[in-house]
Structure 1
Amino acid sequence: MTARTEPAVPEADAPVTARPPLPREFLLVAGLFLVYKLGRQLATGHTATAFRNAHRVWDWERALHLPGEGDVQSALLHGDVLVHLANTYYATVHFPATLALLVWLYLRRPAHYLWARRVLAAVTAAALVLPFTFPLAPPRMLAGTGLVDTARRYGPSVYGPPAHDHLSNQFAAMPSLHFGWALMVAVALIAATRSAWRWLWLLHPLITLLVIVGTANHYWLDALAATALLGAALAVVPPPRRAPVPVRRAAAPPAAQDAVLVGAGR
């Protein structure tokens, strides 16, 4: 007579969620990107205020003893190749990395996809309000800082002259959605995967931070504001719940099984 053991039950790695309809999600994600590109246009026309706020932010950073943006830019300007790579990263990684995250989550982690999409939508919506209340010129436009517009000087550049640039609002530097979205990419991938190497995804927001500051497109406080918005969104939007892990019954050791069987025979 042998003792029966419970079959092993695989651990639940992710919540089981039906994948949402693709056409609807395509329209929603496309709308998110469209709102990002066009929404800031509503906050144009505040040039004088944007420059006043830029001087305030610069003074606040000095009062807080934050590192100078110029220190990061000086490191990039040691060679044309490095600064060109930084400009290319700024111009080409932002949208594709976020889109790639959403596509991968949609295909492999539907519950995490819904969560990430809602968080990104909340952060983007909140970020579009700030330019109305706090328009801000980027540091590359601020005279007296010693910073240069690396994209215009070394290329590639995604911005034209502010007076003729009708595709973006260059006076909406705060918050930095470049950094906010990059940080969410890392957070979502860390939450949705189980690899011991998943923490390396934090390199993406770290590199993004150095790039946006070193190219003089954003202040440190722009990134801090984006982090605060992301933290608020993560606190409000409930994360996907993992299915409970079934309790496994450990088989009794052979000696214990024999003792039970002998006792039962008596």
Structure 2
Amino acid sequence: MNARTEPAEADTEPGAPARPPLIREFLLVAGLFLVYKLGRRLAMGHTGEAYRNAGRVWHLERTVHLPRETAVQSALLHGDTLVHVANTYYATVHFPATLAFLVWLYLRRPAHYLWARRVLAVLTGAALVLPFTFPLAPPRMLTGTGLVDTGRVYGPSVYGPPAGDHLSNQFAAMPSLHFGWALMLAIGLIAATRSRWRHLWLLHPLVTLLVIVGTANHYWFDAIVATAMLGLSLGIVHRPRRAAGTAGRGTGRLGAPEPVLAGAGR
């Protein structure tokens, strides 16, 4: 087929699912976000246990010689601008990036959209179990660690005082869906595109990891558990097959991430 008439890497495999109805998908995705928020709220009321678990996680990380979260935070605190950018990234990128990822897949890769939406649903559903069984206070709430609550001190912060915060459960640090969703975004874009630069999407979860740890909102183990849960979710939900006609193309129009995707990864 002539290069000018060949479609730009779409889901063209015979038998590939058609784009699902927009209204239904809007309701399903909105429901996923709602379950994520409400499910964490239902797991409140375990403050004492959450602090005890936080101490256990902190000491376990030191036992297995993971780097101290304070080392990452010290790098952020070299300047007010850097820590403010990290706080802003934590507060504003998580939901919009995931939504932009799903919208782009829905419009351009329907089969990969269905796969990614199902993986995120399984991951989120599994993650909501842990706050009931293992409530965990974030490192910013621990005393004696040398960590600073960067959101409260430097802003912006997405959390109020735990006792008066009616929008989120601050004792549901494990797993980190900030990291789990960011990693799925990168995996989904790598799977759905053929750009030679597509692996650069892994910078998004890497930056997210440094941000969630450096701002003292999560432990290393929160990201490790999220990664394990995502691995199980990917094992449960089968990845769509790519059409043979799109294999091996890594140049031309897809030689770099497309502009709409670049917006999702920032």
d(CA) in 2 for partners of 1:18 and 1:145?
52
For residue 26 of structure 1, what is the amino acid of its counterpart? F
> Given that residues 10 and 108 in structure 2 are in contact (C-alpha distance below 8 angstroms), is that contact kept between their aligned partners in structure 1?
no
* Number of equivalences: 240
The answer to whether residue 64 in structure 2 is matched with residue 58 in structure 1 is no
| Offset from partner CA, 1:14-69 (integer Å, 9 cap, x none) | 33330000010000000011111111011100000000000000011001100000
Deviation digits for residues 122-169 of structure 1 (CA, Å, limit 9, x no counterpart): 000000000000000000000110101000000000000000000000
Equivalent residue letter for 2:24: R
Show the 5 A alignment for 1:21-100: 21-100=21-100
Write the distance in 1 (CA, Å) between the matches of 2:36 and 2:126.
11
Match of 1:141 in 2: 141
C-alpha distance in 2 between matches for 1:43 and 1:96 = 25
Largest Rg, 1 or 2: 1
> How many angstroms apart in 2 are the aligned matches of 1:148 and 1:221?
19
Q: Find the counterpart in structure 2 of residue 126 from structure 1.
A: 126
Gaps of at least 5 residues in structure 2 are 247-266
Q: How far apart, CA to CA, are the structure 2 residues paired with 1:8 and 1:82? A: 48
Secondary structure (helix, strand or coil) at the match of 1:194 reads coil
Distance (whole Å) between structure 2 residues aligned to residue 239 and residue 52 of structure 1 = 39
TM-score by length of 1: 0.87
In the aligned structure 1, how far is the partner of 2:135 from the partner of 2:227? 18
How far is 1:13 from its partner? 5.9
Distance 1:76 1:38 in 2: 32
For residue 8 of structure 1, report the CA deviation from its aligned partner.
7.9
Q: Does 1:241 align with 2:241?
A: yes
Cα RMSD, aligned residues only: 1.6
Provide the C-alpha distance between the structure 1 equivalents of 2:221 and 2:31, rounded to a whole number of angstroms.
Answer: 28
Contact kept in structure 1, 2:10 and 2:109, CA below 8 Å: no
Alpha-carbon spacing, 1:33–1:59, altered in 2? closer, same or farther (3 Å): same
Structure 1: gaps (5+ residues): 1-6, 247-266
Tell me the amino acid that sits aligned with residue 214 of structure 2: G
Cross-structure match for 1:205 = 205
In structure 1, give the amino acid aligned to 2:183: L
Residue 214 of structure 1: aligned partner: 214
* Distance of 2:242 and 2:208 partners within structure 1: 30
Deviates more, 1:209-218 or 1:14-23: 14-23
Q: TM-score, normalised by structure 2?
A: 0.87
- Residues 201-249 of structure 1 show CA distances to partners (whole Å, capped at 9, x for unaligned) of 0000000000000000000000000000000000110000223459xxx
In 1, the alpha carbon distance for the partners of 2:178 and 2:10 equals 30
Q: Is the aligned partner of 1:180 residue 2:180?
A: yes
Determine helix, strand or coil for the equivalent of 2:74.
helix
- 1:60-98 Cα distance to aligned partner (Å, 9 max, x none): 100110000000000000000000000000000000000
CA distance in 2, matches of 1:161, 1:8: 61
Identity over aligned pairs, percent: 77
